[in-house]
Copies of this chain bind each other. A is one copy, B any other.
Amino acid sequence: MDNFIYDIPTKVYFGENQLGHLGDELGRFGKRVLLVYGGGSIKKSGLYEQVVNEMKKSGLEIFELSGIAPNPRIDSVRQGVKLCKENKIDVLLAVGGGSTIDAAKFVAAGSCVDFDAWDFFSKSAPIKKTLPIVTILTLAATGSEMDDGGVISNPETREKIGLGAPPLRPKVSFLDPTLTYSVSRYQTACGAVDIMSHIMEVYFNTDESLYMLDCIAEGLLKTVIRYAPIALEKPDDYEARANLMWASSWALNGFLPGGRKHAMDWSCHPMEHELSAIYDITHGLGLAILTPRWMKYCLDETTLSRFVKFGTNVFGIDPESEPMEIAEKSIEMLSKFFFETLGLDDTFTKVGIKKEDFPLMEKRACGGDILVNGVKPLHQEDIEKIYEMCGEPFYPDFATP
Chain A residues with a Cβ under 8 A of chain B: 1-9, 11-18, 209-212, 214-216, 218-220, 222-223, 226-227, 238-239, 242-243, 246-247, 250, 258-259
In angstroms, Cα B12 to Cα A9, docked, is 11
Known: A6-B14, A259-B15. A1 touches B211 (CB 8 A): no
Does B227 lie within 8 Å of A222, measured CB to CB? no
Of B4, B14, B218, the contact of A14 (CB 8 Å cutoff): B4
User: Residues of B contacting A6 with CB < 8 Å?
Assistant: 11-12, 14
Indicate which residue in B2, B16, B215, B243 contacts A219 across the interface (CB closer than 8 Å). Answer: B215
Cβ distance A175 to chain B, nearest Cβ, rounded Å:
9
Nearest 8 pairs between A and B by C-beta?
A215-B219, A3-B15, A9-B9, A6-B12, A212-B223, A7-B11, A212-B243, A216-B219
Q: Would you call B246 and A258 a contact (CB within 8 A)?
A: yes
Contacts of A3 in B (CB 8 A): 13-18
Name the contact of A246 in the complex, choosing from B210, B223, B227 (C-beta under 8 A).
B210
Query: Given the known A-B contacts A11-B5, A18-B3, are A222 and B226 also in contact in the complex, defined by CB atoms under 8 Å?
Result: no
B-chain residues with CB within 8 Å of residue A216 when the two chains form the complex: 215-216, 219-220
Contact partner of A220 (CB less than 8 A), chosen from B2, B215, B259, is B215
* Residues A227 and B215 in contact in the complex (CB < 8 Å), given A238-B1, A259-B15: no
The CA-CA distance from A130 to B227 in the complex, in Å, is: 41
A–B complex contacts, Cβ < 8 Å, 25 sampled:
A1-B239, A3-B13, A5-B11, A5-B12, A5-B14, A6-B11, A6-B12, A7-B11, A8-B8, A14-B259, A15-B259, A210-B242, A211-B226, A211-B239, A211-B243, A212-B219, A212-B243, A212-B247, A215-B218, A215-B220, A215-B223, A218-B219, A219-B219, A242-B259, A246-B258
Please indicate the chain B residues that have their CB under 8 angstroms from the CB of A238 in the complex: 1
